[in-house]
Amino acid sequence: MYTINISLPKQLYQKVDTIIKEEGFASRSEFFRTLIRVYSVLKGKNLELMEFSPRPLSEIEMEMEKTGKYNSDFIKSVVSGLKKSSLYADKPVKK
């Protein structure tokens, strides 16, 4: 999965968080994925998003190292963050 960072004015940022709470989205990411799906339907385009399937963190770490694009501190930070996510926390990933 790829990451996109966006900047929002404070009022819009707060509105997004309000919608997420009111509509029961699991996260901001899920909200924006839904927003993209709705946009694609309105534009008459068929946009299929692949379902996320977790992979072993050691594999993710190794692949990031292979690219040569990231320093070890950054890679450790990403892996640490993933360990805390609901998809990885206290759940070993089986391959």
Separation between Cα atoms, residue 52 and residue 50, nearest integer Å: 6
Q: What average pLDDT does this structure show over 17-35?
A: 90
- CA distance linking residue 89 with residue 81, whole number of Å: 10
* Alpha-helix runs per DSSP H in 1-95: 10-23, 28-42, 57-67, 72-84
**Non-local CB neighbours of 31 within 8 Å, separated by 6+ positions:** 16, 19, 20, 23, 25
- Give the pLDDT confidence of 83-95 residue by residue, as tens digits: 887 677 656 555 5
- Segment 27-77, tens digit of pLDDT: 899 899 889 888 888 877 766 666 777 788 899 899 989 999 889 998 888
Q: How many residues does the chain have?
A: 95
Which pLDDT belongs to residue 8? Answer: 92
At residue 12 the predicted structure's pLDDT band, cuts being 50, 70 and 90, is very high
Q: Domain boundaries in the chain?
A: 10-42, 52-95
